[in-house]
Amino acid sequence: MLTATNPYTGEKIADYPALDAEAMQARIGEASAAFASWQATSFAERADVLRAVAKKLREQKPAIAKLMADEMGKPVKEGGPEVEKAATCAEFYAENAEAFLTAETLPSDASHSYVRYQPLGTLLGILPWNAPLWLAFRYLAPALMAGNTCVMKHDPNVPASAQAIADAFAAAGAPANIMVNLPIETPQVEAAIRDPRIAAVSFTGSAGAGAKVAAVAGSEIKPSVLELGGSDPCIVMADADLERAADVAVLSRIINAGQSCIAAKRILVEQSVYAEFTEMLRTRLAALTLGDPNLESTDIGPIARDDLRQNLHRQVSETVNAGARCLLGGELPAGEGYFYPVTLLADVTSEMCAFREETFGPVMAVAPVADLAQAVSIANDTEYGLGAALWMADTDKAQQAAAQLNAGQVAINGIVKTDPRLPSGGIKRSGYGRELGPHGIREFVNAKQVWVA
């Protein structure tokens, strides 16, 4: 049984039946059976399907945004744009997949030699709760346009959001079973990965869970793409546009109540502007409104689950006990719901919990640095390597520093974000492989060499 709980009230929304082993195998079989006909379609035919799905998503945008607000606490003013972003992703690959997968001629000793990109088969996507629509389409759109069929195992926290995605495919008239929703409980995931009809696995989630998925997939010799956690640094130098940097750093940290892998989590500020910039952050964070995620006036909704909230508070408490200054928040609120206050921790060092662990919530940790070299050193002193941001006037120098940062993506004077046009992913315990852009669609294809005498 999958139970959806409203994090704003702490009350159960509904129970949803989970598939048993037999039903799970049947659903995977349906996606597998659909592969032969789907891979035989043209790019133009696939594009028509993805565009139709995007249209249905937009038609259902308010309803889907409310589902996300109710199931995992995302404010509706963020939920609507997330649905739009998912639709845009579908349209982007509809427009560009054929060009990304065009056969490449390569010179050799043959009269003609080339590489063609062909689908692998049926894929399994294992998705988290924090961006139910966007993270689903980041997996689905390129995989389907490449000619694969997709099994979607969404998080147990968001069963209605997952069904809404399946409903959009059905309403769009998509061929049956090219995308199959798989509502199963977590202990069944290993069996799904090991099913011989699953050709590859895409996983987004924590580093711990990702390690388990990678181990199972590896034991079956199945390729996988892992997008895992992050403890992203945001470096702010004295010559930066401090007002703009503060605006963007706060936005990055509090999107989805801070429950984002690529949020700015460790703010490293040059010593000469440290006090000034920290006060800028405090002022902006203090102005944010916590509340009902179904209200447009709400900036920050609740944490998705109480166990996540309790762990976040442990991280804050350990950091303060180790010597950090708590300038804002830091106390568990009374009352219903899984709220955590916007929290600002200053004078955090690399040995403290908020820098060593990923904090998944509206908690910002700030530290002074002597210069850019020290900032880069501290930024790299983490087991994660997802994203990083650099704020400084000298963009040439910033690009040199970007080359030294151990991260999958770096934003200079801007926000770290995912964009269908650009590859996204991490290194170290933030995962491997890439999603999005031309790189993402080539993760789950067979790059087949053809040599003609």
Extract the tokens encoding 298.
Answer: 């709400």
Residue 261: active-site member? yes
Q: How far is CA 148 from the centre of its chain?
A: 21
Residues 6+ apart with CB under 8 A from 67: 132, 158, 160, 161, 164
Extract the tokens encoding 397.
Answer: 């120098």
Residue 353: active-site member? no
For residue 391, what are the β-bridge partners?
A: 236
Extract the tokens encoding 153.
Answer: 């195992």
- The single-letter code of the amino acid at 183 is P
> Comparing C-alpha atoms, which of 195, 201, 193, 179 is closest to residue 34?
179
> Comparing C-alpha atoms, which of 126, 180, 169, 146 is closest to residue 440?
146
Residues 6+ apart with CB under 8 A from 255: 78, 263
Q: How far apart are CA 326 and CA 319, in angstroms?
A: 9
Based on C-alpha coordinates, what's the Rg of the chain? 22
Q: How far apart are CA 49 and CA 47, in angstroms?
A: 5
Half-sphere exposure of 78 (CA within 13 A, CB side): 25
Q: What are phi and psi of 286, to 5 degrees?
A: -65, -20
Catalytic residue among 71, 78, 227, 357: 227
Residues 6+ apart with CB under 8 A from 450: 113, 114, 115, 116
Place of tokens 């899984």: 338
Let me know: does 290 contact 300? Beta carbons within 8 Å.
yes
Q: How far apart are CA 197 and CA 213, in angstroms?
A: 17
Let me know: does 387 contact 334? Beta carbons within 8 Å.
no
Let me know: does 153 contact 124? Beta carbons within 8 Å.
yes
Q: How far apart are CA 218 and CA 370, in angstroms?
A: 43
3-class SS of residue 280: helix
Catalytic residue among 89, 150, 234, 261: 261
Residues 6+ apart with CB under 8 A from 9: 336, 337
What number of helices (H) and strands (E) belong to the chain?
A: 15, 18
List the catalytic residues: 227, 261
